[in-house]
């Protein structure tokens, strides 16, 4: 593991075209860190558009009556105004949900409608769980720390330089892992935090596997199909 990590940075020197790699890596990292700091601002037209886009990606063909509406509760928001739930993780948690809905719509719908397995009486609220997952991944990756403290962070930054969407993909994998563990544990909402913790542990294990160089290589990536 250590050897592999130490070798990767020297590879770009082998080909002149690859000399750009560290620059791209830095640029993508800065862009992602910036995304993580954006608060949801209900007065911004682009944020309003994103919220409307989330609705139509989640419930195609169903009309949304307003950015504040009872309808949002159906998706698993705590109240009529999803923006209060975004406070935990910011605008990126909306982007993550939207990415999931658009990129893996079948899996997204399956989780939204709680279609897999034997479901608990006390289910987790889908959308709020999504915000919690964004927050958990941000903590796990610890991208803002000035001193790199974990291998998981280093591995992820390498993946990000290969794929700009690495964070969003990791989010989708995390959601699938969380739902799977939820079912395996016959969990109730009281146990949501425990499930989130064991989801994080599973993601960390998979990210540190030798053969995992991209999000797509993670064993749990297969859950999305
Ligand atoms: C999950 O997110 C909701 C909404 O942002 C928040 O109220 C709650 O405290 C979060 N829970 C955890 C475990 O992060
Ligand atoms: C969950 O419930 C099923 C049957 O409903 C049972 O077979 C299984 O052992 C339970 N799992 C746990 C972890 O309690």
Average pLDDT, the chain: 90
Give me 85's structure tokens: 């739930």
Number of domains in the chain: 1
**Residue 159: inside a domain, yes or no?**
yes
Give me 222's structure tokens: 């297969």
**Residue 8: inside a domain, yes or no?**
no
Note the pLDDT of residue 18: 54
**Residue 163: inside a domain, yes or no?**
yes
**Residue 39: inside a domain, yes or no?**
no
Note the pLDDT of residue 39: 95
139 Cα: distance to centroid of ligand 1 (angstroms): 14
Give residue ranges with CB within 6 A of ligand 1.
Answer: 85, 87-88, 128, 131-132, 135, 193
**Residue 9: inside a domain, yes or no?**
no
Going by alpha carbons, the residue nearest to atom 1 of ligand 1 is 132
Shortest-distance ligand to the CA of residue 117:
2
Do 39 and 79 meet the contact criterion of CB atoms below 8 Å apart? no
- Split the chain (225 residues) into runs of 10 and give each run's mean pLDDT: 43 50 86 96 95 97 95 95 91 98 97 84 91 97 84 94 95 98 91 97 97 97 96
Note the pLDDT of residue 19: 55
**Residue 12: inside a domain, yes or no?**
no
Query: Could you list the residue range(s) of the whole structural domain that residue 116 is in?
Result: 45-57+68-224
Going by alpha carbons, the residue nearest to atom 13 of ligand 2 is 185
Which ligand 2 atom minimizes the distance to the CA of 185? 13
pTM (2 decimals)? 0.88
**Residue 150: inside a domain, yes or no?**
yes
| Nearest-10 Cα torsion for 201, 131, 187, 199 | -10
Note the pLDDT of residue 20: 62
Going by alpha carbons, the residue nearest to atom 2 of ligand 1 is 132
Task: Name the residue among 124, 46, 36 with its Cα closest to residue 78.
Answer: 124
132 Cα: distance to centroid of ligand 1 (angstroms): 5
Burial letters for 182-205: b for 16+ Cβ neighbours within 10 Å, e otherwise? bbeeebeeebbeebbebbbebbee
| Nearest-10 Cα torsion for 146, 147, 149, 155 | 70
**Residue 196: inside a domain, yes or no?**
yes
121 Cα: distance to centroid of ligand 2 (angstroms): 14
Going by alpha carbons, the residue nearest to atom 4 of ligand 1 is 85
Rounded distance between C-alpha atoms, residue 85 and residue 104, angstroms: 23
* Diameter of the chain measured on Cα atoms: 58
* Chain segment 167-191, per-residue pLDDT in tens: 999 999 999 999 999 999 998 889 9
């Amino acid at each position: 593991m250590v050897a592999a990590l130490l070798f990767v940075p020297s590879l770009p020197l082998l080909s002149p075209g690859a000399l750009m790699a560290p620059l791209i890596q830095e640029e993508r990292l800065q862009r992602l860190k910036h995304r993580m700091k954006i608060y949801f601002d209900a007065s911004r037209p682009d944020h309003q558009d994103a919220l409307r886009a989330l609705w139509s990606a989640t419930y195609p063909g169903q009309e949304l009556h307003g950015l504040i509406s009872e309808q949002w509760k159906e998706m698993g928001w705590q109240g009529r105004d999803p923006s209060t739930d975004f406070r935990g993780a910011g605008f990126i948690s909306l982007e993550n949900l939207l990415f999931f809905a658009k990129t893996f719509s079948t899996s997204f719908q399956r989780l939204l409608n709680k279609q897999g397995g034997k479901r608990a009486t006390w289910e987790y609220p889908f959308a709020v769980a999504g915000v919690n997952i964004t927050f958990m991944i941000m903590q796990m990756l610890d991208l803002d720390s000035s001193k790199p403290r974990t291998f998981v962070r280093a591995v992820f930054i390498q993946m990000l330089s290969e794929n700009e969407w690495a964070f969003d993909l990791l989010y989708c994998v995390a959601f699938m892992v969380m739902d799977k563990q939820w079912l395996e544990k016959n969990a109730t909402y009281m146990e949501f935090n425990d499930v989130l913790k064991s989801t994080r542990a599973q993601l960390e294990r998979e990210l540190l596997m030798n053969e995992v160089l991209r999000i797509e290589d993670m064993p749990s990536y297969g859950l999305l199909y």
